[in-house]
Structure 1
Amino acid sequence: MPLQSNYGIENHGITNTGDVFWNFNTPRLYEEIIKRREGAVVHLGPVIVRTGHHTARAANEKFIVKEPSSEKNIWWGKENRPFEEERFNTLYLRLMAYLQGNDLFIQDCFAGADPEYRTPVRVITETAWHSLFARNMFIQARWEELESHIPEFTVLHVPHFHAIPQIDGTNSEAFIIIHFGKKLVIIGGTAYAGEIKKSIFTILNYLLPQERVMT
């Protein structure tokens, strides 16, 4: 059976979910993708899926929470749009309510190949195919590392949850919001998997130069 980290999802405020699938390997994820009709296996073995409306990055829907720990380190502007912390907290509470009763897939992995500078990350998704994407994109933790894995940053990817712009302060139903203080990324309203990758790369581009590492 896949190993579950001792650092459970309750640490992210997630409770009362359906089944939680920890660190499923590729064959198990293929099985779930087919069973849940998320995609199809085609000639020579790749999985194909539909990303829906968003077929590329939604650059206008990306925000960074303006909060004390990172505020002075970010060049605010049209590329790094500020997001109010109070609105983030409200949106996150709605996300927690949405997830109740839902199945989740979790991948505990690392971003960065150098052991000295790699960042432990956790990707929590509501779909098996996004979990497979994360497993392929990032460096898999070794079997003996999984139980003690504590993520430095967590991506909560919930494509079927949609923001309400008039309430949430987003530009549309889609959103990608990074909170450096909480070490958290929330993504909703878009199934384009590249948002997971880009969010982690943005985090590395923020963290590593502070350690005098060029990115």
Structure 2
Amino acid sequence: MQAQTQVKGLKELGIEPSEVFHNLSYDEIFEHEKNNGETVLSSNGTMMVDTGIFTGRSPKDKYFVDEPSSNKNIWWSHINFKASEAVFEELYQKCVNYLSGKKLYVFDGYAGANPETRIGLRVVSEKAWQHHFCTNMFLRPSKEELANLLPEFTIINACGVKNEKYKEHGLNSEVFVIFNLAKKLCIIGGTEYGGEMKKGIFSVMNYKLPLQGIVSMHCSANIGNKDGDTALFFGLSGTGKTTLSTDPNRKLIGDDEHGWDDNGIFNIEGGCYAKVINLDPKTEPEIFEAIKRDALLENVVFDEKTKVVDYTSAAKTENTRVSYPIYHIKNIQVPSKGGHPKVIIFLTYDAFGVLPPVSRLSIEQAMYHFLSGYTAKVAGTERGVKEPTATFSACFGAAFMTLHPTVYAQLLGEKMRKHNVRAYMMNTGLVGGAYGTGKRMNLPSTRKIIDEIMNGNIDKAEFIKHPIFQVEYPKTVEGVDSSILDPREAWTDKAAYDESSKKLAGMFIENFKKYVEGSKDFDFTAFGPQI
């Protein structure tokens, strides 16, 4: 593609590049990455990029402009920080001045597989590999669609800009990711990490969709090859959303971000973003085979001579990743939509090793655990996290929730009741002991449990009620070692299990208090742990 000196809409943003490349093909992106010296080609033809010192998101550097059109809706919290309109304008000018006169890349596409509710989006960047990332992750328009596409939200990625005045501005660091919902803009500076763009658009959709009565969800989704039964998998990064939704017996709808409207489930994205640390072709063949030309590996370690990737190495980060267009997975649903789900599974990485590998939940228990969002932050996903740390993340994705968690919970609960959805919680974390002594739940057993959930056989088993957490877990699951299904029996030291169980229950109870203070509308405490 020949360089242009302008793309419609850039001048209105105040950006006047020396040359600009608009929605490049993969082959063109390949040449730009190579000629710019931004990437290294792996032994199997996949491009590899080093994202610099930031190999994960910077959640403490994410802000929303405090402005009249949105400030009454936004969940102001330790998740969504405030920035003034004046600070935004100053940094916005710094970004556009920095980008003007440079060679730039512009990606125009969509978020949302439903034409009725999707948004047109634009990402302006100076790195060809960031253009590559957006081409992988967002919905790619046809030539006809591109000709008529009007961006409804724009990300300006000026990753080379640092905010030296952050203390004066009352911000956290030189890094900034600031959303101005009134102006439909986001500016990024100080970090190259691609996930900021992906989760930035997700944050926007998490604002827009619920206000239209549509549930936006941090989950993966797939659909049965034969029965057409849709299933959702909620969970934070590292809990298994991508791995477990990529199933040879079920068609993948999407691996991370979805909406649920009156017609069913739809993917928000056009690609997948999988962790590749310790990736094993025997246990995750679909993801391994998706890593080929047009995919983009991030922060992996490789042999300098042969360019063979060492997926076992965390020398740069635990958060090694690959992005690829969804069609790199052979068994996908086209278009990326499904009917109303029959099953919802909450995935948690239990760093305490207390929760059963699988539990059956009532609707009320599902609401309790959805609002609690217990899991562990997995090493490398965020800056400063070096080992799994127990945490609570509302909606299994609080970091991306722009509105108050109860907004999403209310919409989800209504949908689950209306469509008679079965709910389960699965511990993909530790069994037989806490962090340091317990072992991570093995993937084949987890997959077998999911199979038994999908075919309904699990509900034929005898269930036991946990004395503290109140959830029910099966005594047996076909093809799974029964000794791990009872979490207490899996521990050698029963007294230590009891102590850890009460400790974790206390954390649940303390965390949930914020949902019942001043209102009883979301008081699901009777369906949570009891000490």
Q: Same fold (TM over 0.5)?
A: yes
Do residues 12 (structure 1) and 13 (structure 2) align?
Answer: yes
Q: CA–CA distance in 2 between the matches of 1:69 and 1:61?
A: 22
Change (3 A) 1:2 1:22: farther
CA RMSD between the two structures:
1.7
Amino acid in the other structure paired with 2:188: I
Amino acid in the other structure paired with 2:58: A
Q: CA–CA distance in 2 between the matches of 1:3 and 1:211?
A: 39
What's the CA shift string for 1:5-31, capped at 9, x where partnerless? 97331121212x211001111110110
Change (3 A) 1:168 1:94: farther
Q: CA–CA distance in 2 between the matches of 1:110 and 1:54?
A: 26
What's the CA shift string for 1:52-84, capped at 9, x where partnerless? 111101001100100011010011111110100
Other-structure match for 1:193: 194
Amino acid in the other structure paired with 2:211: Q
Other-structure match for 2:39: 39
Contact 1:63 1:176 in 2 (8 A): yes
3-state DSSP of counterpart to 1:121:
strand
What's the CA shift string for 1:173-197, capped at 9, x where partnerless? 1111111000001111001100000
Map 1:61-140 to 2 at 5 A.
61-140=61-140
Amino acid in the other structure paired with 1:18: S
Amino acid in the other structure paired with 1:196: M
Q: CA–CA distance in 2 between the matches of 1:173 and 1:7?
A: 31
What's the CA shift string for 1:75-128, capped at 9, x where partnerless? 111111010011100111111211121111001000111111111000110100
Q: Any unmatched runs of 5+ in structure 2?
A: 217-531
Do residues 208 (structure 1) and 192 (structure 2) align?
Answer: no
Task: Compute the displacement of 1:43 (Å).
Answer: 2.0
Q: CA–CA distance in 1 between the matches of 2:3 and 2:190?
A: 30
Other-structure match for 1:27: 27
- Give the stretch that moved more between structures: 167-176 or 96-105: 167-176
Q: CA–CA distance in 2 between the matches of 1:65 and 1:129?
A: 28
Task: Compute the displacement of 1:147 (Å).
Answer: 2.1
* Higher relative contact order, chain-length normalized (CA < 8 Å, sep 6+): 1
Other-structure match for 2:387: none
Task: Compute the displacement of 1:136 (Å).
Answer: 0.4
Amino acid in the other structure paired with 1:101: G
3-state DSSP of counterpart to 2:94:
helix
Q: CA–CA distance in 2 between the matches of 1:169 and 1:189?
A: 16
Task: Compute the displacement of 1:47 (Å).
Answer: 1.0
Percent identity, aligned pairs only, is 39
3-state DSSP of counterpart to 1:154:
strand
Q: CA–CA distance in 2 between the matches of 1:27 and 1:132?
A: 10
Other-structure match for 2:176: 175
Do residues 155 (structure 1) and 155 (structure 2) align?
Answer: yes
Amino acid in the other structure paired with 2:176: F
Task: Compute the displacement of 1:2 (Å).
Answer: 7.8
TM-score (norm 1): 0.95
3-state DSSP of counterpart to 1:73:
coil
Contact 1:6 1:147 in 2 (8 A): no
TM-score (norm 2): 0.39
3-state DSSP of counterpart to 2:122:
strand
Change (3 A) 1:30 1:167: farther
- Give the stretch that moved more between structures: 194-203 or 146-155: 146-155
Q: CA–CA distance in 2 between the matches of 1:38 and 1:100?
A: 20
Q: CA–CA distance in 2 between the matches of 1:122 and 1:116?
A: 18
Contact 2:120 2:153 in 1 (8 A): yes
- Give the stretch that moved more between structures: 60-69 or 1-10: 1-10
3-state DSSP of counterpart to 2:109:
strand
Do residues 53 (structure 1) and 53 (structure 2) align?
Answer: yes
Task: Compute the displacement of 1:168 (Å).
Answer: 4.0
Q: CA–CA distance in 1 between the matches of 2:67 and 2:150?
A: 23
Q: CA–CA distance in 2 between the matches of 1:188 and 1:82?
A: 17
Size of the aligned set, in residue pairs, is 214
Amino acid in the other structure paired with 1:163: N
What's the CA shift string for 1:151-190, capped at 9, x where partnerless? 0000111111111213444311111111100000111100
3-state DSSP of counterpart to 1:176:
strand
Q: Any unmatched runs of 5+ in structure 1?
A: none
